[in-house]
Structure 1
Amino acid sequence: MAKSGKADGGILETIRTVFWALVIAGVFRTLFFQPFWIPSESMKDTLLIGDFLFVNKMAYGYSKYSCPFAMCPFSGRILASEPERGDVVVFRHPVAGTDYIKRLIGLPGDKIQMKAGVLYINGVAAPQEPAGTFQEVYEPQGPMRNIPQCENGAVGAGGTCTKSRFVETLPEGQKHNILNIRDNGPGDDTPVFTVPEGHYFFMGDNRDNSTDSRYDPRAGGVGMLPAEYLIGRADRVIFSSAGSRMVYFWTWRSDRFFKAIE
């Protein structure tokens, strides 16, 4: 019977250990950092499919969407601080309920417009400087097997898919890369969007392949995002894999490990 008592005690101790480990992990994920995999091409070439990062949840404070399954028991935001234009932000989509990652372009009160593929903020163009081309292999990418879109047309499986790259400068001087796939794309010319108080305007860096604030959220876009849907800021890529499975070590992109996000 002594052996049975020791066995039962060992099982209970294991259960307690697992329970507290899960509690600690849940608190860490809720309050500090949330893991996030890049599933799509909307933020190329800043973020690539298969990049893995931790989202800094302390950056903007907390809302109910800071908890898994939106279970935080409060409304609005607590310990809130304002995001900055140019931040790369993870947020909860207001209709789909999934997490998105985009670049913050418009702050409350801003007027945002795209004209001939150029971003205008409060009537002033954000300068774009040519920065060569972004190249990738035309093949399925990541677990979702996404096929890249190419500016140089149908290149065929295994061919080199290219996009024009530009460095865009925001009003505060922050610079980042953007990509172009086609002229006169559906989001290259827009009406003027006025960002309401308490809302933000987001865009992807891969401008012709991003469903963002230029589009209605009921049609797959983001629209003007209320502040309560902010989750956190993406600061650094921790790990990156170009393969469909993380265990395929020969597809790891070691040059992107711990890479700062600009």
Structure 2
Amino acid sequence: MEGAGVDQDTNRPMRAAPAQAPASSTWASLRETIKVGIQALLIALVVRTLLFQPFNIPSGSLVPTLLIGDYLFVSKYSYGYSKYSLPLSEYIPGKLEGRVWAAEPKRGDIAVFKLPKDNATDYIKRVIGLPGDRIQMIDGVLNINGKAVKRERIADYETFDPYGQATKVPQYLETLPNGIAHRIIERDGDNGFWDRTELYTVPAGHFFMMGDNRDNSTDSRDLANVGYVPFDNFVGRAEMIFFSIDEGTPAWQIWNWPAKVRWGRLFSTIH
């Protein structure tokens, strides 16, 4: 007589087939995963649109403060919002003019702005001149409203010349009228092309922007290519370097990180 529930070949009890998860439970789990993913994307979109936007530095105009290969966060809320600081808003005519919750940049801020020449290209420079200021370079010395800005010679900056050879260039600690001190370099000494300029008078609602690498920066001194920057063109203020890698090394080559990442620059604030 056949024994109920017994495998006649092995004389062992037969195991019940594993229970299948109800279809409704699987669908609920999938819905929850999708919901979490959508929420994460919405949070990321809000953060990037209204709070912080990442940028990377492709040129040396702000050396020694910012280096090629630095990746940084720019606060979008620092100066309020305009059609140039909100994604795609410039393509919606009449939707947003001027700035909302505006707060003017301070002298010494490092800020990202849209190049006035095309209102599209992102530039990053230091705020030097405020509306109404008179700005002039005289023998390499920055003058604001008729007074020479204090600068103190410090240790030379080690860099590379246009041919890739190691070299040292004069470096100074420059102190702006509001007490903000920052380093600048003069690659060509005090005889560079932009070390002797005309007198600029910053128009109302505009700002005068300069790079810290004074002889290698296309900035407001070049009226034909940059000139005075309208307040509306500001995107945000540079706040923190979150990643930095040697010039010429793509950030995605993670196998090069141990040797190429500038570990000491990570999570440093920007002044």
Q: Which residue of 2 aligns with 1:90?
A: 112
Q: Which residue of 1 aligns with 2:153?
A: 130
Contact 2:55 2:74 in 1 (8 A): yes
Match of 1:177 among 180, 183, 206: 183
Rounded to whole Å, the distance in 1 between the matches of 2:156 and 2:173 is 11
Q: Which residue of 2 aligns with 1:235?
A: 239
Match of 1:251 among 260, 267, 271: 260
- Report the AA paired with residue 66 of structure 1: S
Match of 1:30 among 37, 40, 49: 49
Q: Does 1:99 align with 2:104?
A: no
Rounded to whole Å, the distance in 2 between the matches of 1:252 and 1:76 is 40
Deviation at 1:12, TM superposition (A): 7.0
Q: 1:11 to 1:92 in 2, by over 3 A?
A: farther
- Report the AA paired with residue 139 of structure 2: A
1:88-139 CA-partner distances (Å, limit 9, x unpaired): 1111112241111100000011000111111000000001111111113x4x
182-191 vs 20-29, which moves further: 20-29
Per the normalisation by structure 1, the TM-score is 0.84
1:192-245 CA-partner distances (Å, limit 9, x unpaired): 1111111100000000000000012xx4x3211110011111122122111421
Q: Which residue of 2 aligns with 1:201?
A: 208
Q: Which residue of 1 aligns with 2:101?
A: 79
Q: 1:16 to 1:177 in 2, by over 3 A?
A: same
Q: Which residue of 2 aligns with 1:192?
A: 199
- Report the AA paired with residue 65 of structure 1: Y
Q: Which residue of 2 aligns with 1:118?
A: 141
Rounded to whole Å, the distance in 2 between the matches of 1:21 and 1:65 is 25
Aligned residue-pair number: 241
Q: 1:163 to 1:70 in 2, by over 3 A?
A: farther
SS at structure 1 position matched to 2:172 = strand
SS at structure 1 position matched to 2:71 = strand
Deviation at 1:165, TM superposition (A): 0.4
Rounded to whole Å, the distance in 2 between the matches of 1:173 and 1:49 is 27
Q: Which residue of 1 aligns with 2:14?
A: none
Q: Which residue of 1 aligns with 2:269?
A: 260
Rounded to whole Å, the distance in 1 between the matches of 2:40 and 2:229 is 34
In structure 2, runs of 5+ residues without a counterpart are: 1-20
In structure 1, runs of 5+ residues without a counterpart are: 139-147, 150-155
Rounded to whole Å, the distance in 1 between the matches of 2:246 and 2:26 is 45
- Report the AA paired with residue 106 of structure 1: G
Per the normalisation by structure 2, the TM-score is 0.81
Match of 2:217 among 210, 216, 228: 210
- Report the AA paired with residue 172 of structure 1: N
Larger Rg: 2
Deviation at 1:163, TM superposition (A): 1.6
| Root-mean-square deviation (Å) | 2.3
